[in-house]
Amino acid sequence: MEQETILSKEDKRKTITKVDRTYRMCPDTVLNLKDDDILTIWNPNVHLVCGFTNDDKSCTINGGDHQIEIYSAKEFNEDFTEYKLKNIVIERINFTGSAVYNIAIEGIKDVPEDTKMKAEVTVRDCHFSVSFIMC
Protein backbone atom coordinates (compact mmCIF):
# COMPACT_ATOMS: atom_id res chain seq x y z
CA MET A 1 0.00 0.00 0.00
CA GLU A 2 1.38 3.41 -1.00
CA GLN A 3 1.66 6.05 1.66
CA GLU A 4 0.75 9.60 0.70
CA THR A 5 3.08 12.35 1.82
CA ILE A 6 1.27 15.52 2.80
CA LEU A 7 3.28 18.70 2.40
CA SER A 8 2.50 22.03 3.96
CA LYS A 9 1.95 24.98 1.62
CA GLU A 10 5.44 26.25 2.45
CA ASP A 11 7.02 22.83 1.72
CA LYS A 12 5.20 22.67 -1.63
CA ARG A 13 6.42 26.17 -2.50
CA LYS A 14 10.02 25.27 -1.63
CA THR A 15 9.79 22.15 -3.78
CA ILE A 16 8.22 23.85 -6.80
CA THR A 17 10.86 26.60 -6.88
CA LYS A 18 13.68 24.05 -7.08
CA VAL A 19 12.58 22.34 -10.30
CA ASP A 20 12.40 23.74 -13.83
CA ARG A 21 8.87 24.69 -14.80
CA THR A 22 8.27 25.19 -18.51
CA TYR A 23 5.27 27.17 -19.69
CA ARG A 24 4.66 26.76 -23.42
CA MET A 25 2.71 28.99 -25.76
CA CYS A 26 1.15 27.03 -28.59
CA PRO A 27 2.61 27.88 -32.02
CA ASP A 28 0.84 30.76 -33.79
CA THR A 29 -0.58 32.06 -30.49
CA VAL A 30 -0.93 35.83 -30.14
CA LEU A 31 -1.32 37.02 -26.56
CA ASN A 32 -2.89 40.49 -26.79
CA LEU A 33 -2.29 42.48 -23.62
CA LYS A 34 -4.36 45.47 -22.57
CA ASP A 35 -2.72 48.56 -21.08
CA ASP A 36 -2.06 47.24 -17.58
CA ASP A 37 -1.87 43.48 -18.32
CA ILE A 38 1.57 42.10 -17.41
CA LEU A 39 3.13 38.64 -17.21
CA THR A 40 5.04 38.62 -13.92
CA ILE A 41 7.78 36.18 -12.93
CA TRP A 42 8.87 36.16 -9.28
CA ASN A 43 10.17 32.60 -8.83
CA PRO A 44 13.34 30.90 -10.11
CA ASN A 45 13.50 28.10 -12.70
CA VAL A 46 10.74 29.44 -14.95
CA HIS A 47 10.97 28.83 -18.71
CA LEU A 48 8.53 30.65 -21.00
CA VAL A 49 8.86 29.03 -24.44
CA CYS A 50 7.12 29.12 -27.82
CA GLY A 51 6.05 25.73 -29.07
CA PHE A 52 7.69 22.34 -28.80
CA THR A 53 10.60 22.45 -31.29
CA ASN A 54 13.34 24.93 -32.16
CA ASP A 55 11.43 25.68 -35.37
CA ASP A 56 8.43 27.05 -33.43
CA LYS A 57 8.95 30.82 -33.48
CA SER A 58 5.45 32.04 -34.24
CA CYS A 59 4.31 33.02 -30.72
CA THR A 60 3.68 36.71 -30.11
CA ILE A 61 3.10 38.86 -27.07
CA ASN A 62 1.47 42.04 -28.35
CA GLY A 63 0.42 45.32 -26.81
CA GLY A 64 0.20 46.47 -23.23
CA ASP A 65 2.24 49.12 -21.51
CA HIS A 66 4.63 46.46 -20.19
CA GLN A 67 4.79 42.82 -21.25
CA ILE A 68 6.98 40.85 -18.82
CA GLU A 69 8.31 41.89 -15.42
CA ILE A 70 10.82 39.87 -13.41
CA TYR A 71 11.06 40.92 -9.79
CA SER A 72 11.06 39.83 -6.18
CA ALA A 73 8.07 37.91 -4.83
CA LYS A 74 8.10 40.36 -1.93
CA GLU A 75 7.24 43.16 -4.37
CA PHE A 76 4.07 41.24 -5.16
CA ASN A 77 3.26 40.23 -1.57
CA GLU A 78 5.33 40.92 1.57
CA ASP A 79 4.32 37.52 2.99
CA PHE A 80 5.94 35.61 0.10
CA THR A 81 9.39 34.07 0.46
CA GLU A 82 12.05 35.70 -1.69
CA TYR A 83 14.22 33.31 -3.72
CA LYS A 84 17.22 34.03 -5.94
CA LEU A 85 15.81 34.70 -9.40
CA LYS A 86 17.98 32.32 -11.41
CA ASN A 87 17.47 30.06 -14.39
CA ILE A 88 14.71 32.16 -15.94
CA VAL A 89 14.48 31.59 -19.70
CA ILE A 90 12.35 33.38 -22.30
CA GLU A 91 12.69 31.67 -25.66
CA ARG A 92 11.48 32.01 -29.27
CA ILE A 93 8.83 34.69 -28.58
CA ASN A 94 8.07 37.77 -30.69
CA PHE A 95 7.41 40.98 -28.76
CA THR A 96 5.44 43.73 -30.47
CA GLY A 97 3.42 46.82 -29.70
CA SER A 98 4.46 47.55 -26.13
CA ALA A 99 3.87 51.17 -25.15
CA VAL A 100 6.72 51.30 -22.61
CA TYR A 101 8.89 48.15 -22.43
CA ASN A 102 8.87 44.48 -23.29
CA ILE A 103 10.86 42.96 -20.43
CA ALA A 104 11.73 44.66 -17.15
CA ILE A 105 14.28 42.84 -15.00
CA GLU A 106 14.29 44.29 -11.51
CA GLY A 107 15.45 41.20 -9.62
CA ILE A 108 15.40 40.68 -5.88
CA LYS A 109 15.66 43.42 -3.27
CA ASP A 110 18.38 42.01 -1.04
CA VAL A 111 21.22 40.64 -3.13
CA PRO A 112 22.69 37.51 -1.47
CA GLU A 113 26.30 37.74 -0.38
CA ASP A 114 27.39 34.90 -2.68
CA THR A 115 26.35 36.78 -5.83
CA LYS A 116 26.13 40.33 -7.11
CA MET A 117 23.34 39.48 -9.54
CA LYS A 118 19.78 40.44 -8.76
CA ALA A 119 18.49 38.05 -11.44
CA GLU A 120 19.79 35.50 -13.94
CA VAL A 121 17.68 35.71 -17.09
CA THR A 122 18.29 34.26 -20.56
CA VAL A 123 16.42 35.75 -23.51
CA ARG A 124 17.06 33.42 -26.44
CA ASP A 125 15.99 33.65 -30.08
CA CYS A 126 13.34 36.32 -29.44
CA HIS A 127 12.36 39.13 -31.79
CA PHE A 128 11.57 42.66 -30.62
CA SER A 129 9.65 45.18 -32.74
CA VAL A 130 9.64 48.88 -31.82
CA SER A 131 10.39 48.19 -28.16
CA PHE A 132 13.31 47.64 -25.81
CA ILE A 133 14.57 45.74 -22.75
CA MET A 134 14.93 47.70 -19.50
CA CYS A 135 17.30 46.46 -16.78
Measured in degrees and rounded to the nearest 5, phi and psi for residue 9 equal -60, -40
Contact 92, 58 (CB under 8 A): no
Higher pLDDT, 76 or 115: 76
How far apart are the C-alpha atoms of 66 and 133, rounded to whole Å? Answer: 10
> So what's the pLDDT on residue 88?
95
Phi and psi, residue 36, nearest 5°: -105, 15
Residue 125: per-residue pLDDT = 96
- C-alpha 26/C-alpha 14 separation (Å) is 28
pTM, full prediction: 0.79
The pLDDT assigned to 130 comes to 67
For residue range 11-51, what is the model confidence (pLDDT) as tens digits?
555 556 788 899 999 999 999 999 889 999 988 999 999 99
Cα of 128 vs its chain's centroid, Å: 17
Distance between alpha carbon 49 and the CA centroid of its chain, in Å?
10
Say if CB 51 and CB 25 are below 8 A apart: yes
Count the neighbouring beta carbons within 10 Å of the beta carbon of residue 33. 19
- Tens of pLDDT, residues 37-92: 999 998 899 999 999 999 999 999 999 988 999 988 888 788 888 888 899 999 99
Helix, strand, coil percentages in the chain from 3-state DSSP, rounded to 5: 10, 40, 50
